[in-house]
């Protein structure tokens, strides 16, 4: 038995996350994970592992103030106190959680249970709601709320965060009422940059593109320093190279509305960085991260595909070709679309063909309405419960043999939207009163892996 349960019990004691439910409630999921990972470790031990997820923000449509309603949530009192809120919320009370605090905390507990301890945990953007067209103050406030959770992050795992469009763009609604168009935002980008600096989350960002060489592709230039938003770093043994991308880089490429276009990356810098890593003999694998995908998930309906739901093709297609051409690239890891999906970026092959694109937008935001996991590969929680969307994270492992594998660790989203995220304490959550929402509240369930990891060839 590789996993023991004692060390993580006190991990989030200050937040009271374990006070309201017995340890046995989590052992069911953990034992399944232990069995899967133990068998894999016997066959080919892990030498490096990392996890990632994205889109833990709240969704704006269910209340006018764009904040989390937990009046019926029954959150553990210590958790509420940890975030500075009174216990026993009353009907009509609003607590400003701009991110799905419950799923974030549950993921942290599960990371400590992994037998292959991750060296890094990447969050691929859309951490908070953001999107405001102001001087950046609203985003600063929301990121400060997320910052309250950072002291609970489990050491020695290193947290790597990157911005999503909710942190680096703004809606045009204030200047064009009734529209939902978005543009790259200089004010929000500065707010993000200040946040990662203040929280000490920019320590790995040492080599990113600056305005000394602003070209992103011929005829297009950056208009703001990107050195702490797009960058790369190596694992301690230098065998793995990690590239972090801001997929909404501020440039002089303008929309027909006179706004800075979104979905762009510093392609010139990325090309040089990946080619340099490919040429180094010590580098065995290259992993690339960003918020927006290079291509749409193949099971995303045509009617749901918007221009802003992937990288601008002017940089997306060259990036795809770059990743294919450099054989050490294992994959591109992203989120943005609220589902989990894996496929290849190559012209042929499947989710085991490098380079893969894994979309893990299941960190805690409301799942896409069209998302129905494949019945053959989805994970049922019991024979009588239908398969369906899930929250969680993805574990990626580099093995002693040199192979790379990944596995989706899944936590169910129970019931209908009225009961998703509800805190379960031996009895089902009470039906919500008209006009209220119980999403995004706390349910202590461990994420479980699929029966077998996928090896990337």
Contacts of 370 (CB under 8 A, 6+ apart): 299, 300, 301, 304
d(Cα 457, Cα 454) in Å, to the nearest integer? 9
**Residue that is written with structure tokens 């694109």 in the block:** 357
Contact status, residue 446 vs residue 107, Cβ threshold 8 Å: no
DSSP conformational letter for 94? -
pLDDT in tens, 53-87: 999 987 644 333 333 444 334 455 555 665 666 66
d(Cα 269, Cα 215) in Å, to the nearest integer? 8
pTM for the structure as a whole: 0.84
Token digits of residue 453:
């990891």
What b-and-e string marks burial along 122-161, b requiring 16 or more CB atoms within 10 Å of the CB? Answer: bbbbbbbbbbbbeebebbbebbebbeebeebebeebebbb
What b-and-e string marks burial along 27-65, b requiring 16 or more CB atoms within 10 Å of the CB? Answer: eebbebbbebbeebbeeeebbbbbbbbbbbbbbeebeee
Q: How many CB atoms lie within 10 A of CB 357?
A: 24
**Is the peptide bond between 377 and the residue preceding it cis, with omega within 30 degrees of 0?**
no
- CA neighbor of 76 nearest in space, from 84, 92, 88: 88
d(Cα 175, Cα 268) in Å, to the nearest integer? 33
Taken as a whole, the chain contains a residue count of: 457
- CA neighbor of 291 nearest in space, from 357, 258, 246: 246
d(Cα 158, Cα 119) in Å, to the nearest integer? 6
pLDDT in tens, 353-362: 999 999 999 9
d(Cα 262, Cα 186) in Å, to the nearest integer? 12
Percent of the chain at pLDDT above 70? 71
pLDDT in tens, 287-309: 999 999 999 998 888 988 988 89
For the cut 60, the answer to whether the pLDDT of residue 199 exceeds it is yes
For the cut 70, the answer to whether the pLDDT of residue 422 exceeds it is no
pLDDT in tens, 184-195: 889 999 999 999
d(Cα 125, Cα 118) in Å, to the nearest integer? 19
Q: What is the mean pLDDT of residues 188-216?
A: 96
DSSP conformational letter for 422? P
DSSP conformational letter for 426? S
* Least confident span in 1-15, 37-51, 69-83, 152-166: 1-15
Percent of the chain at pLDDT above 90? 48
Q: How far is CA 199 from the centre of its chain?
A: 18
* Least confident span in 72-81, 201-210, 265-274: 72-81
CATH 3.60.21.10 is right for the domain spanning 13-456: yes
d(Cα 158, Cα 122) in Å, to the nearest integer? 8
Q: How many CB atoms lie within 10 A of CB 261?
A: 21
Contact status, residue 76 vs residue 16, Cβ threshold 8 Å: yes
d(Cα 362, Cα 394) in Å, to the nearest integer? 10
> According to the model, what pLDDT value does residue 71 have?
34
Helices (H), 211-352: 267-279, 313-325
For the cut 50, the answer to whether the pLDDT of residue 23 exceeds it is no
> According to the model, what pLDDT value does residue 82 have?
58
Domain boundaries, given as residue ranges, for the chain: 13-456
Burial of 260 (0-12, 13-18, 19+ CB in 10 A): buried
> According to the model, what pLDDT value does residue 447 have?
78
For the cut 60, the answer to whether the pLDDT of residue 386 exceeds it is no
């Amino acid at each position: 038995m590789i996993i023991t349960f004692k060390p993580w019990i006190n991990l989030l004691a200050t937040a009271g996350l374990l006070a309201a439910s017995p340890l046995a409630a989590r052992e069911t999921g953990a034992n399944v994970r232990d069995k899967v990972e133990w068998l894999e470790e016997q066959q080919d031990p892990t030498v490096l592992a990392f996890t990632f997820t994205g889109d833990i923000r709240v969704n704006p449509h269910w209340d006018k103030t764009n904040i989390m309603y937990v009046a019926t949530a029954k959150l553990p009192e210590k958790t509420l106190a940890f975030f500075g809120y009174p216990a026993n919320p009353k009907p009509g009370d609003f607590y400003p959680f701009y991110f799905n605090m419950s799923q974030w905390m549950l993921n942290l507990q599960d990371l400590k249970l992994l037998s292959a301890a991750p060296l890094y945990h990447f969050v691929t953007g859309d951490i908070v709601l953001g999107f405001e067209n102001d001087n950046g103050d609203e985003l600063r406030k929301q990121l400060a709320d997320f910052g309250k959770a950072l002291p609970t992050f489990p050491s020695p795992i290193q947290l790597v965060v990157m911005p999503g469009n909710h942190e680096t763009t703004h809606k045009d609604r204030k200047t064009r009422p009734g529209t939902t168009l978005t543009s790259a935002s200089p004010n929000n980008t500065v707010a993000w940059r200040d946040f990662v600096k203040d929280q000490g989350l920019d320590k790995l960002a040492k080599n990113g593109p600056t305005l000394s060489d602003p070209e992103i592709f011929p005829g297009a230039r950056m208009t703001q320093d990107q050195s702490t938003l797009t960058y790369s770093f190596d694992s301690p043994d230098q065998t793995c190279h990690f590239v972090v991308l801001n997929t909404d880089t501020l440039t002089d490429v303008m929309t027909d509305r006179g706004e800075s276009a979104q979905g762009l990356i510093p392609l010139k810098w990325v090309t040089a960085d990946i080619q340099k890593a490919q040429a180094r003999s010590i580098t065995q694998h290259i992993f690339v991260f960003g918020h927006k995908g290079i291509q749409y998930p193949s099971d995303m309906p045509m009617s749901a595909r918007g221009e802003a739901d992937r990288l601008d093709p002017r940089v997306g297609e060259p990036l795809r070709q770059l990743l294919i051409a450099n054989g050490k690239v294992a994959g591109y890891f992203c989120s943005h679309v609220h589902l989990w999906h894996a496929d290849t970026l190559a012209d042929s092959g499947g989710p085991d063909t490098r380079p893969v694109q894994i979309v893990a937008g299941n960190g805690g935001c409301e799942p896409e309405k069209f998302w129905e996991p494949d019945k053959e590969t989805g994970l049922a929680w019991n024979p009588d419960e239908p398969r369906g969307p899930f929250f969680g994270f993805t574990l990626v492992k580099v093995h002693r043999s040199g192979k790379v594998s990944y596995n989706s660790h899944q936590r169910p989203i129970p019931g209908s939207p009225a009961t998703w995220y509800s805190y379960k304490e031996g009895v089902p959550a009470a039906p919500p009163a008209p006009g209220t929402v119980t999403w995004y509240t706390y349910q202590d369930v461990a994420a479980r892996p699929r029966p077998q990891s996928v090896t990337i060839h």
